[in-house]
Each structure stands twice: as C-alpha cells, then as structure tokens.
Amino acid sequence: MSIWQTESWWEMLKKSNQADEVFNVRWFSVEKRKVAMWEYGLFVLWVEKSVSEKNVNELIKLCKKEKCLFIQIETLKYDLKSNYITIGDEDKKLFKVWYYKKFITPYTALIDLKLSEEDILIRMKPKWRYNIKLAWKKCVKVKEVEKTDENIEKFYSLMKQTTSRDSFNGNTIDYYKTFLNTLKNSKLLLAYVDNIVIAGWIFTFEENDVSIYYYWASTSDKNYRNLMAPYLLQWEAIKIAKNIWSKLYDFLWVAPPNEIDSPLAWVTEFKKKLTLDIRDVSNSYIYKNKNIKYFIINYLRKFKK
C-alpha cells in the first residue's frame, strides 16, 4: 500500500486543511477538496490496484450524493508491466483520460534499493559522486533531528530562502509541522557546518516499500552553497532507506522526456544525476458530474496561469 492510501496520510490532509473530508470506498480513500466557485471535487489518489466496474459505479454514486463537480482517479504503477485501471465498457463513456489537477506528475525518478551501495554510486554521474566526497571533505555533517518546533523552524527559514531564490511557492510552517508530526514515518534531515544549518530535507521512509524524497531547502549564503550539502543529504537518505529494506527510492516530480520547456526541467536535471531510471507511473481519469459548470471553471482557470 502506498503512503497516500494510509490513515496517517488522510489524518495529515484533514489537519492541514487540504481535504475537507475523506471517504472510504472499499479498499481505497476518496478525498473531498474545494476547487472553485463553491464547488468540490473528489480525488482518488495513487491507486495501486485495479478498479473494478463495481468500484467505478460506487465512486460515481458517491460523487452524485456529495453533489461534487467531478471525481478524479490517479493511478500509481511502479511496475511497468502492470495495468492498474479496469473500467467497464459503459463506464468508459463517462470516465475520460484527463485530470483537473495532477498532484504528482506522471513521471518520476527511481533508485532500485536492491542494488548495493557501490552499484547505486556507480550508476550516478561522476560529478555527483565527487560532490558527495567533497561535502565529506568540507566537514558537512548530516543528522536526523527530532521533529521539534525549533528544528522545523530552522528548516522553514531555509525554505523561505529557497522559494525566494528559485521562484516557486512553498507551504506554510504549520503545514510542515503537521506533515512531520502526523506522518509517523517522516523524517527531517539537516546538514550542518560548524553547528550552522545550511540545508534541510524532508523524507518519508517505508519499511519493505517505497521511501520518498519530499521537500528540500538550502541556504542562499554563497559561503556555504559550494559545500555541496544537498548531495550528501540525498546520499544519507538513500542509505537510510536501504537500511530499513525499502524497495524503491522515489524522487517524485520530474519532467516528461523531451519536454524542454517544462517548469520541472532544472530539478529534473538535478535528479538525473542520481539515476536514469525515469518511469511513467501515473495516469488520470475523470468523471464530470456537472459538465457545463466544469467547462466554465476549467476555462476560467486558463486566465489565472
């Protein structure tokens, strides 16, 4: 089971006000989220198993009962040989291959943790291996720290520098506190030089499953940026994942192959220094309960981008 289909994840969504309600439909969860114009959408995120025709009918029934604008299903398929969505012939006329909002990009970068540490390093680009060694030589120390307010505030201070420097939107400090303190298998790793925090990353580690690199932040101080702390942080996190027998290490969010102008291009290049195992892991399907209003809302969204 993926982390996104666990009770602690649902609890985190409600505590952080990302989801108004979470329903259980057989073996998967359905998140009810505000979308636009006083409307709600239902989201079934990162489903790893087949969705039968009977399940599909139950989802449509729930969507109508809650009077939601739509219901969206996102699949998760790390195994490239598997197909996870099954929709009956009649339901194919209702569910379309599309999405309102994609929570995880279709493509991700992965490391197979069954490989030895030596083999994982060999598959990295030489510059990456060099930067790990450089961080060691520069006395960068990576520590897993307790998820206290003080430590999360240190991470958040770096996050504000990162979002300002790289021009993207971060979350509130309350969100990071809720994320870390609600998800039992989440960890906060900080990188230090002379007791000064210069980088911090948030991960989730799952025994015998998938460990995920979630959020990162680093200093904008030029005196510390050349110490290569992010490289060492990633390597220490990979080793933690291996030590608890995780099967895969998931970097999340990479640009589709050959999409040059993707906003994820720069972060994709960073992640591809660690691994070239890029996979298409997610498809999206949507059922529109209110077709006309959905069209209007989706049309107006184009002017906000």
What burial letters (b/e) apply to 235-267, b meaning 16+ CB within 10 Å?
A: bbbbebbbeeebbbbbbbbbbeeeeeeeeeeeb
pLDDT score at 91: 54
250 beta partners: 110, 212
Which CATH number is 108-279's, of 3.40.630.30, 3.90.1150.10, 3.40.50.80, 3.40.50.880? Answer: 3.40.630.30
* pLDDT for 260: 76
Task: Give the tokens for residue 49.
Answer: 């198993």
Radius of gyration of the chain (CA): 21
- pLDDT value of residue 302: 80
Amino acid in position 7? E
CATH T-level topology, domain 3-104+282-304: Aminopeptidase (3.40.630)
> How many other C-beta atoms can be found within 10 angstroms of the C-beta atom of residue 144?
14
Phi then psi dihedrals of residue 295, to 5 deg: -60, -45
- Would you state the structure tokens that stand for residue 236, as one six-digit string? 């220490």
User: Within the chain, which residues score under 50 in pLDDT?
Assistant: 84
Bridge partners (DSSP) of residue 200 are 190, 217
Contact 279, 107 (CB under 8 A): yes
In terms of Cα–Cα distance, which of 41, 22, 10 is closest to 294? 41
CA distance 46 to 29: 10
Q: Contact, 72 vs 104, CB < 8 A?
A: no
Q: How far apart are CA 42 and CA 33, in angstroms?
A: 6
The CATH 3.40.630.30 domain(s) of the chain lie at 108-279
Beta strands at 40-47 and 70-75: parallel, antiparallel or unpaired: parallel
What pTM did the predictor assign? 0.88
Give the model's pLDDT for residue 303: 81
pLDDT at 148: 98
Residues with Cβ within 8 Å of 177's Cβ and at least 6 positions away in sequence, in order, are 147, 149, 152
39: left (phi over 0), alpha (psi -120 to 50) or beta: beta
Cα 165 from chain centre = 21
Tokens 């929709």 belong to which residue?
87
pLDDT for the residue 50? 65
Q: Which residues pair with 216 in a beta bridge?
A: 201
What are the tokens at 162? 């990162």
What are the angstrom distances between the C-alpha of 290 and each of 10, 91, 240? 26, 16, 47
Inter-residue contact 94 to 60 (CB < 8 Å): yes
Task: Determine the 3-state secondary structure of 72 from DSSP.
Answer: strand
CA distance 230 to 283: 31
